[in-house]
Structure 1
Amino acid sequence: MSHPCPEAPKPNWLQKHLLLTTISLLRRFCDHKGSVLMLTKNICVKYGSLHDPMEAQTMMFIAQRTNIPVPKVYMSFKHKGLTYLVMQRIQGHALGRGWQQRTPESRAKLLASLKAHVAEMQELRAVSPAICSVNGGSLYDPRMPKATIRYGPFDDVHDFHDYLRDGIQDHDNHTPDVRKLIRLHNEKWEGPTFTHGDLSSINILARGDEIVGIVDWETAGWYPSYWEYTTACQVNPRNYFWRDEIDKFIHPDPKALEMERLRQRYFGDF
């Protein structure tokens, strides 16, 4: 069972034809940000073979139930193995841009706003103990060290932990670290909590001292309560400065972080 989930608008034949033609003509000339093509000042399209079609529904869910700024979804569809998401282009810059040049007051204001957005997301109540996507289905994360980028859904946190360590159960032959991981996994963990799953400074847009958008919701879903913190801590090298800010907008959970580092050491890193 899952929350009622809004369906993303689908284009009619003419809209799809016009959009695909426009992308074909403009992709060599328009600005790109990764896999996102900036069609106009106010519209962009995210497309590719690895993109999750659930991202559109997730953003619509968040827009309906919170005040978190997310791009408005105009349409979403699949065509010849590619997923297309046409959405609002939010006018703002990645929060990490010029972060070191901001005043302490500016940083504090932005982090306080971000903390409020995270708290609002965490106040969403799950209707079941399942670890799953916004519509109760499988989850998506191309960073996971598995053979497939889709996984789940799981009945509860315990089943999710079992999956993360490949079903390994406690045994005298295991190393002390692996046994410690299993003990930690088997403790009672709060969940599920709605989670963005990639709160990098790259995915947070600001204009002045205001957060105007949070983007890239493809890894979002109902996860254990610690997942937002531990995934945010997995910063990439060009975003490394962000590690010093995470505890200021997500409640720190050192035990969960230790558990995740053990899991990544023995069962695969992001």
Structure 2
Amino acid sequence: MEKVALVTGCSSGIGAATARSLLAEEWTVVATARDTEDIAGLAEAGCETAELDVTKPAQCRNVVDETVAEHGRLDCLVNNAGYAQLGPLEDIPTRDLHRQFDVNVYGPHRLIRAALPHMREREDGTIVNVSSVSGRVATPGMGAYNGSKFAIEGMSDALRGEVSEYGIDVAVVEPGPVDTSFQERADDEFDDLDKSGAYERIYEFFSDASAVNGLGAVSPERVAEVITEAAVSPDPAPRYPVARAGRFGVLARFLPDRWLDAGYRFALKFAR
């Protein structure tokens, strides 16, 4: 019997690439997005598709239950849906911070809660949470996004210990920069802020960093390979940093905080 995966955020980028990668492994893939027209190509490729807005609790429960009802199992949940709310924390309204956590943290939590009873019943399953280097090292101007990804990291660590006795694995995938439209949406979130005028160097820095990040970005397909590795492994690692930027970025958390702070101050001096 084919294994079954449910993947969120499949309209483009990492989610779409992951759906295709798991399909190539001869899994049954339920690819989800807020608008199913955005994943019509995945349906043509052989995926099953479903509408899912991860901020809607009923949709989260229903898509999991319907997957299990149709296929009798759910072997892997890939929590990929997310976006980056950039900006200095003073400039970010609390409603925008809440929206960031609603998608990046509460959404995965809703799906995990829906999936776990089915996985516990079978005493088997894998949950893959897509985090980021930004979930291990914080950067000025990324506090909201950092907070959401730090939360996913901590929740995953706790969850791994809670469900191991039921034969369920939890893995975190940590990409660095990825060549997707993710940065474009992040830039849009910047543009929508009511700027205080106190942090122009941070805005300039991110304007420059967008071009720099593109040079070191990996493809969505490379991240999808790592997600697939975690999904198919009988004993997945707790964490999977992706490519050189991911590995080096994650290692930066071991540097003294004052060194990191000094590095950020140095970088911001050149933002004009």
Say which structure is richer in helix: 2
TM-score by length of 1: 0.25
Say which structure is richer in strand: 1
Structure number with greater Rg is: 1
